[in-house]
Amino acid sequence: MDNKKVIVPKKLIKETSPYPEPYGEAIVILENGMWIDVYTDEDGILYTITNDDELISYLEKNQ
């Protein structure tokens, strides 16, 4: 399955932590309990890149 770039709405973020590796930006815990890595684009919008169908569905339904 291919990876997909998906916007992460800030309203869904329950907690933010620094990324444990030097190449990442942040790890967030979503309201549904999922832990994901997030990045910020040039417009200040948070996104993640994933192939997890459950995560993609959750994020797209809650935009």
Q: What residue numbers bound the domain in which 33 lies? A: 4-61
- Residues in contact with 57: Cβ distance below 8 Å, sequence separation at least 6, in sequence order: none
H, E, C per residue of the chain: CCCEEEECCHHHEEEEEECCCCCCCEEEEECCCCEEEEEECCCCCEEEEECCHHHHHHHHHCC
Count of domains observed in the chain:
1
The pLDDT of residue 27 is 96
* pLDDT tens, residue order, the chain (63 aa): 799 999 999 999 999 998 888 888 999 999 999 999 999 999 999 999 999 999 999 999 999
